[in-house]
Amino acid sequence: MNKTLISVVGPTAIGKTKLAIHLAKQYNTEIISADSRQFFKEMNIGTAVPSLEEQAQAKHHFIQHKSITETYTVGDFEREAIQKLSELFKIHDVIVMVGGSGLYVNAVTDGLNTFPTIDPSIREELNTKLSESGIKPLQHKLKQLDPEYFNKVDIYNPQRVIRALEVAIGSGKPYSSFINKPKAERDFKLLSVGLRAERALIYERINARVDVMVETGLLQEAKSLLSFRDYNALQTVGYKELFKYFDGEWTLDFAISEIKKNTRRFAKRQLTWFLRNEDTLWSDYDYETKTLLDIIDVEIENLKNV
């Protein structure tokens, strides 16, 4: 238990990759990505994958290692990430994990929860309702059956909404009742470090990032993936809006404005998720590097005595 995982969390566009690289250099170690959309090799610009220059500064794992045509669940990630940590901890005392996908972060730090077996017909029926009536009726149903989870989940992600509903309907119990279980035992200490900023500033950074994505080829990337639009990986902000533009439903300006709006909503959900962890060490996004690294170093030393 003298090994430590530093988990860098926070909303999108806050600077998590930059901090993770600083930490990897500080401890001469490697980085595990817990960003569920950066796993896919076909998605680059729209998922803000670390640049080749950034990846050259510290070794990254779980970056673009899967295809969007492959099924890759959070359970798969948990197993592979824990195995990779076991390997890396043989040569490093500290490993860095970074990502804004709260469910994937928690899978590594706390373990996944056990859910009951659900009749597949329930999911089929929910998918039919989604295709016929859109996501709003499903959101309303989730709010009725499980208001606690409704306030945590990205309600614009149909896969997450349908998963919560099928469990609630099939078991007769709220989805949230299955996720408030004791944490899994891990053979490493955990230090969670969060980056934050005023909401208005976060939104400004998001808007600026989307503009850069568009300037650097997001439209071309999305267009090249149009034939794969039904895969789960592409039910993602930045792609699904542009698909509507390609379909002629939206103008380009409106699609871009929707990307910005939906990314801001996603960032709000991320903050809600990560703020639940009272043990997270929070820092302003524009931290003084040496000061923050020194604070983290002290926290790691303190963990050794716990």
Binding-site residues for ATP sit at: 10-17
Work out the burial of residue 170: count CB atoms within 10 Å of its CB; fewer than 13 is exposed, 13-18 middle, 19 or more buried: middle
Closest to 32 (Cα-Cα) out of 55, 7, 53, 60: 60
Task: Look at phi and psi of residue 150 and say left if phi exceeds 0, alpha if psi is from -120 to 50, else beta.
Answer: alpha
Q: How many Cβ atoms from other residues are within 10 Å of residue 194's Cβ?
A: 21
* Residues flagged as binding site for substrate: 12-17
Query: Pairing state of beta strands 94-98 and 189-196?
Result: unpaired
- Which three-class secondary structure string do you get for 61-105? ECCCCECCCCCCCHHHHHHHHHHHHHHHCCCCCEEEEECCCHHHH
Task: Look at phi and psi of residue 99 and say left if phi exceeds 0, alpha if psi is from -120 to 50, else beta.
Answer: left
* Residues flagged as binding site: 10-17
What b/e string do you get for 258-285 counting C-beta neighbours within 10 Å, with b at 16 or more?
bbbbbbbebbebbbebbeebeebeebeb
Q: How many Cβ atoms from other residues are within 10 Å of residue 139's Cβ?
A: 17
CA angle 123/245/210 to nearest 5° reads 95
CA angle 137/138/141 to nearest 5° reads 90
